[in-house]
Amino acid sequence: MLELLKPITWFPPMWAFMCGAVSSGAGLEGRWWFVAGGVLLAGPLVCGTSQAVNDWFDRHVDAINEPHRPIPSGRIPGRWGLYIAIIATLISAGIGWLLGPLVFIAGLVGLAFAWAYSAPPLRFKANGWLGPLVCGLTYEGLSWFTGAAVMLGAMPSAHVITVLVLYSIGAHGIMVLNDFKAVEGDRQTGLTSLPVVMGVGPAARLACVTMAAAQVAVIALLAVWGYNLSALIVTGVLAAQIAAMPKLIRDPAKHAPWYNGVGVTLYVLGMLAAALGLGGYI
């Protein structure tokens, strides 16, 4: 069951939640339990639920791409993959309720997208444009919003919301990179991921442009708002990403995992730098 919930995927929303908490500028005094609950909600619960839902509705695709996964391999038998997804959804909603109205609503939105992403009739992941956008908005933006809302007990500032939306849009490119590992299965099962529709090379270039453009917009806004050190740090990590992009573009199918380790790490470090500026720490 732990393999089904894919703990390695919990890191991005947990990191984004931390960025949200930092960007709020609020102190931790008296909020420790809320922060712990929010981290649990963003990572193991909502993200874990999304992985269980995805594996259940992707079991036929995984039988081609990843037959060793728990459901297609039979290690989670029958309809237990679906039951686990439903139980995890209910637990996630309950924890969100305990963390306050704004967090509860954000959690419900995240859970709704988790099901709509993978389950028919919407099945956003079948669309190469909508699927990565939904993932970016929930993994990065919604988790960032939740972190700020937990700390403030209120709506985050317009500056915070603007930056989290931009980083969410940039994350569209990150999600496109994840599709390179499943091109053959997507093609056979009719999923119109961008690497299938556009071709691997053009999809890789689009991913790079999307990630870079979002960060350029963040840098410009941080500078205008007076967060000059944050703007400088984000500029530095973007320059390092751009330096790594030619290797990715030369052979996207081969180097996408490498770029996920190098370029995406730099991307999320830039998120933290932006959050530190917005929170008044640098």
Identify the pLDDT of residue 106.
95
Identify the pLDDT of residue 178.
84
Average pLDDT over residues 49-66: 92
Identify the pLDDT of residue 47.
97
Position 138 confidence tier, pLDDT thresholds 50, 70, 90: very high
Average pLDDT over residues 158-187: 89
Average pLDDT over residues 50-74: 92
Residue 43, CA atoms < 13 Å, CB-side half-sphere? 18
What angle (nearest 5°) sits at the alpha carbon of residue 50, between those of residues 48 and 119?
155
Identify the pLDDT of residue 248.
94
Chain-centroid distance, C-alpha 120: 21
Other CB atoms within 10 A of residue 193 CB: 25
pLDDT at residue 185 tops 80: no
pLDDT at residue 61 tops 90: no
Identify the pLDDT of residue 104.
96
Position 30 confidence tier, pLDDT thresholds 50, 70, 90: confident
Which pTM was predicted? 0.93
pLDDT at residue 62 tops 90: no
H, E, C per residue of the chain? CHHHHCHHHHHHHHHHHHHHHHHCCCCCCCCHHHHHHHHHHHHHHHHHHHHHHHHHHCHHHHHHHCCCCCCCCCCCCCCHHHHHHHHHHHHHHHHHHHCCHHHHHHHHHHHHHHHHHHCCCCCHHHECCHHHHHHHHHHHHHHHHHHHHHHHCCCCCHHHHHHHHHHHHHHHHHHHHHHHHHHHHHHHHCCECHHHHHCHHHHHHHHHHHHHHHHHHHHHHHHHCCCHHHHHHHHHHHHHHHHHHHHHHHCHHHHHHHHHHHHHHHHHHHHHHHHHHHCCCC
Identify the pLDDT of residue 190.
72
Identify the pLDDT of residue 16.
97
What's the mean per-residue pLDDT of the chain? 94
Identify the pLDDT of residue 53.
97
